[in-house]
Structures are given as C-alpha cells and as structure tokens.
Amino acid sequence: MTSFPQHLSEALVSYGVDTVFGIVGIPIVEIADNMIMNGNIKFIGFRNEQAASYAASVYGYLTGKPGVLLVVGGPGVIHALAGVYNSTCNKWPLLIIAGSSEDKHRGGFQELDQISLLSRYVKFSASVGHHNIDAMLYNALRQASVGTPGVSYLDIPGNVIDQSSDKKTMPTPRNLREVRFQPEDRDLASVANLIRAHGSKNLLCVLGKGTVNSTAPVRTFITKFGIPFLPTPMAKGVVPDSHALNVSSARTLALQSADVVLVLGARLNWILHFGDSPKWKSSAIFVQVDTTAEELGQNNALGTTYSLCGDIGLTLQKLTPLLGSFRCAGISQQIAIKIRDNASRLKSKESSLSHVLNYNQAYGIMKRHIIDSETIIVSEGANTMDVARISFPTDYPKQRLDAGTNATMGIGLGYAIAAKLAKPEKTILCIQGDSAFGFSGLELETAARYGLGLVVVVMNNGGIYHGEVGNPQVQASTTLSRECRYDLVAEGLGCRGFLIQSATELDLKFRGALNLAATGRPALLNVIIEPGPQGKLSFGWQNKPKL
C-alpha cells in the first residue's frame, strides 16, 4: 500500500523537483515529513508563508523549472498570495500545493474555497486525490512552465492525506520539454526593413528579464550590429554591463534620443514610462519582441504593427540574416559624454568621506570585496535598491535580483535563501533598507537553521524612504526607530551580527561577514547611514536615470 503523501512525494521527484518551500500544519505536515524521510526532496520550512512564497517564486526563475510551495489552507493560502501575484506578474513558474478543509460549507477548520479564490488568477487549479494525482500533477507542472510561465494550484482535502492506494509502481512521468516558436517570415522581414531604413538614426535595444534565457543570441546580436542597449533592472548582465554599448549611465538621454526601439522581453509599463513622451520621443517607433502575444501592442502608439511573437533567441537568429551587412550608428557623442560624466560623478560619490555613511560610500566599500562572477545580489528597499542598481554592475545574467515588476517589499530574505539553494556555489549578498528588513527579517533564523551562508546588509537610515530629522514628538508616517539594533536581532536568531558606524568598520566587518558566510553561517551588518534629504517624498525611479 502507498500512502498519499508518499505517492505525491515520489511523483514530484519523478519530475525533477528537489526543493519545496513552505510552512506545515494540520493536515499537510505528513506530506512534508514524507519528503524529508524519503530524502529525495529538501523541504525548507519558513517562518511566514509570504517569505516562503517569494522564495518558491524566484527559485522557479533561477532554475527554470517550477518552484514548489507547500502551505496549509485558509490563512496559509491567503498569506501565500504574495507569491502568486509575484510569479504571475514576473512570468515565473510556480506550483502551490495546499491542504483544505473537507468539511465544506459547515464552518470547517480553516475552511476556504481555495479553488474558487485562485482560479481567476492562476493558469491551472484542481482538487486532487489518489485517483487523479498523476494526471493533475502533470497538468499543473505543464501549465506552470509551458507557454507563458505562471502559477498552478493543487488542492488537497484533509481526508485524502490519510488514504492509501494499492498501486505497486509509479507511472512514468510525461515529457515536459521546453516548447519554442518563432514569428512569421513576413513579420520578421517587416522589422528588418524598418531597422535598415532607420540605420542613420538613433537605434536602441531595451533588454527585459524575458531575455535571461537567451543570453548568447542576444549578446551576439547586439555586438554584430553595434546596437546601443539598455537593460531593465533584472536583465542586467544578459549583455555585460561593462560592454561599450551599454547606455545605462545615460538612461534619460538615451530614452529621449531613441528613434527606433527594439524591446526584447520587456513590457512598456511603468518601468519604461509606458512608452510615453517626454521620457521618450513622441515619434519613437517601438518594435516589441515577446513570447506572450498579449503583451504586444500595449502602450504602443503603432499597436502591433511591428510586433514579433516568439522565443527571443530564435527570433534574433532569424532576424540576423535579414539585416545583412547593416551596422548601427552606435552611441552618439552626446550620450558617450554623459556616460563618462555620470561614471566620474558616481566614482566621486563612492570615494568621498563624511562623518556618517551614505548609500554611495557604503556601496563603494563593499564593491571592493565583491567578485562579480561569484556573487548574486538581492536588493530591496526604495533608495537602497535604486542606488544599488547603479553601484553594482554585473557581466552575468540572473545575478541581480530586486523587487521586479511589482516593486514590492518583502522579497529580500526569501529571495536570498532561494538563491543560495539554487546556486550554492555563489556568494549571496542581500542588501535591504531597514523598512524592507522588517518584512522578512525573522527568516534569518531559517537561513541559520539550514546552514545557508548569506551576508545581509541593512542600510539603516531610521525610516521608510528616508529617516526624519526634526521634532521627535511628532513622528511622520515614514518614521522608524533610529539606529535600531538589527545586529542584536541577528545574534538572537543564530546569525552573526555587526553594528557598523564608520567606513573603517564596514571595510573590516564586511570582509569578515563574507568569510563567515563561506562557512555556512549567515551574517548581518547593521549599517547606520545618514537620514537622507528631507522634504516631499517622490518615487525616484520615475524621476531619475536609475538602472
């Protein structure tokens, strides 16, 4: 006889699932325990379903196969909705498995009609038992990963978990190979004609995170035709940031100068100012390339006139011979000057000294000790993240993780834990604002419990966006405790904590934290920085060239 938890665990293993994130409780604790006892699945028990759901979502992004989340029903599913939203918006593969009450419509324990709740927002949802688990698991994993990646949900009624089956062998798992497609020849020819016709004008290629699995063809295409490029935050490294055609340091000017914009795997959403003037020329022509047809034409003045629906790599390979000997005019002298000036200005900020540290100075110190090829950086928090995008360039894809499409807080420790599990050979650096740390800080205990050597840096300015300077009796809505001892919290959770109040301390203790992490012990640096500019708050991403 085979119990349901054993059947489910063995079925997951047959599809290559090696890690499951979550929080257990009645009735799903038996499922997690079976995973652990069989030894083929690593179950990572979190302290909060929100952090676990973020971890599972980014694990899917980093590994290319669905991340798996196991939670209790009712409030457990509600807390996990953060991961559903995150995976859906970022197009990441995720499978959620949750227990549910079998006492429907009677006020059962944690009763919630979870299939009805989620069905509008996920690609696939089903209630499972011994009779259909194999077919439903296949469909759930297929829907999560094939086509536009997204979320699938499997609901397990409590009375199913105690059931057994007389099946002697597991069915052979069905194939879930990647399915790729390419645009029509006439659409490719139309785009090639457009690019050749505008060769003397300013051409710009915008890289979205949809390009991260097509690194080689994107790099080849950019280099062959000499096209200036601008990576969105999580597409950094698809083409090396150090590449001579990278215009990130002159983002505003590059956007305003572009006549034809090749948008690869990115959306014309708020991150790209909806394709609107004055951030862009009103006459700019956008050529959108995406695997999701529904994204094409959105916020595009020409609609779907120049749209290519297909795999990014295949599309560029097909487009290349159609462009023949075309060569882009490259980076204009004006943009080149702006890049040099901004690089010089950043270097000056990072090397300057003051009594109290600020973002630029702290990042300049940390950068000296980071080996780019070996380091994944998770950045979270408005100013913390915006400045980090500039200060920590990378020449490698999937090595910069931040709030992404949703610009949400709470991803920090979940992302960092998942990154260490997905890429154990990498150094994982998690840089958070003090506000951002509050969303998931207790997961330091999770990292310590599993021996995951992370380095967490809290940029502590005593506030949300910035700390407040003024009357301490009248606290603004964004005020947090000044110089709060997050380092002592880390010590209490099994990590090593350091209080940093000077450049010398940061230089010394950051090196020590990296060494500790290499031994499997997480370390946190509580870096006290200046409160920041006072005045009306604004969203820096919308106003400044911050990539």
Confidence class of residue 487 from pLDDT cuts 50, 70 and 90? very high
Q: List Cβ neighbours of 526 (8 Å cut-off, separation of 6 or more).
A: 458, 460, 484, 485, 486, 487, 490, 497, 498, 499, 500
| Whether the predicted pLDDT of 534 surpasses 80 | no
Query: What percent of the chain lies above the pLDDT cut of 70?
Result: 96
If you write DSSP's letter for every residue of 262-299 in order, what string do you get? EEES--SSGGGGGG-TTTS-TTPEEEEEES-GGGTTTT
| Whether the predicted pLDDT of 214 surpasses 60 | yes
Confidence class of residue 420 from pLDDT cuts 50, 70 and 90? very high
pLDDT the model gives residue 215: 97
Per-residue pLDDT reduced to its tens digit, 36-65: 988 789 999 999 999 999 999 999 999 999
pLDDT the model gives residue 38: 81
pLDDT the model gives residue 470: 64
pLDDT the model gives residue 546: 42
pLDDT the model gives residue 515: 97
| Whether the predicted pLDDT of 544 surpasses 70 | no
State the average pLDDT over residues 436-465.
96
Per-residue pLDDT reduced to its tens digit, 361-389: 999 999 999 999 999 999 999 899 999 99
pLDDT the model gives residue 545: 42
Confidence class of residue 278 from pLDDT cuts 50, 70 and 90? very high
For the chain, give every residue range classified as CATH 3.40.50.970. 2-165, 352-543
* Among the ranges given (26-40, 179-193, 451-465), the one the predictor scored with the smallest mean pLDDT: 26-40
Per-residue pLDDT reduced to its tens digit, 235-258: 999 999 999 999 999 999 999 999
Nearest by Cα to 417 from 440, 395, 398: 440
Distances (CA, A) of 5 to 45, 128, 137, 523: 17, 12, 13, 36
| Whether the predicted pLDDT of 168 surpasses 90 | no
For the chain, give every residue range classified as CATH 3.40.50.1220. 185-335
CATH of domain 2-165: 3.40.50.970
Per-residue pLDDT reduced to its tens digit, 316-342: 999 999 999 999 989 999 999 999 999
Q: For the chain, give percent helix, strand, coil, nearest 5.
A: 45, 15, 40
| Whether the predicted pLDDT of 547 surpasses 50 | no
What integer best gives the mean pLDDT of the chain? 93
CATH of domain 352-543: 3.40.50.970
Per-residue pLDDT reduced to its tens digit, 77-129: 999 999 999 999 999 999 999 998 777 777 777 788 999 999 999 999 999 99
Q: List Cβ neighbours of 465 (8 Å cut-off, separation of 6 or more).
A: 382, 383, 435, 478, 532, 537
Q: What is the DSSP letter of 260?
A: E
Task: Classify the phi-psi angles of 453: left when phi > 0, otherwise alpha if psi is within -120 to 50, otherwise beta.
Answer: beta
pLDDT the model gives residue 365: 97
| Whether the predicted pLDDT of 189 surpasses 50 | yes
Q: 71 forms bridges with which residues in the sheet? A: 98
CATH of domain 185-335: 3.40.50.1220
Nearest by Cα to 178 from 214, 217, 137: 214
| Whether the predicted pLDDT of 541 surpasses 60 | no
Cα angle, residue 207 at apex, residues 326 and 82 outer, rounded to 5°:
165
